[in-house]
Structure 1
């Protein structure tokens, strides 16, 4: 009879332990919240939202119609990267 009980407990263990674990977890969560006595924290803004707000505040006092042209900006195509393997520039500087 005892092996039959052990087999039944092993077979139906997930059906018994899962609801018990849910109840114990819920009681523990509410008990901890009651002991702390603090309300749930408000959602904070993400880092991306804070960055966008800061950039908007920085742009508020400036005129957004005066921008550099793409030809004047050096960050898109640095000359050193494009002319790295061209020997004719080195030969001109050596001679």
Structure 2
């Protein structure tokens, strides 16, 4: 008799375990909700991109953005080891 019951349990295992797991999960969810209380909605934070944009806006708020350094002046601040081969010598 036992082998017949085990064969039946093996055959119908998904039909038995799914409703049991569903009931256990639902009871656990309701019990956790009852213990913790009404969940508060999460506070929305600014994304990293939004924080970066805010920071750059604050940094550039007092500056005149039309005044930029020319490329010739920027070359003076680059390391000589990088551009020395391709740059003409000043006389």
TM-score, length of structure 2 as denominator length: 0.55
In the alignment, what sits opposite 1:65? Answer: 66
Matches of 2:26 and 2:58, distance apart in 1: 44
Cα deviation for residue 20 of structure 1 reads 3.4
Q: 1:28-60: CA deviations, max 9, x gaps?
A: 334323322341322322223222222222222
Q: What's the RMSD between the two structures over aligned residues?
A: 3.2
- Structure 2 unpaired stretches of 5+: 86-91
Alignment of 1:41 with 2:60, yes or no, is: no
Structure 1 stretches of 4+ with a deviation exceeding 6 A read: none
- Structure 1 unpaired stretches of 5+: 87-95
In the alignment, what sits opposite 2:4? Answer: 4
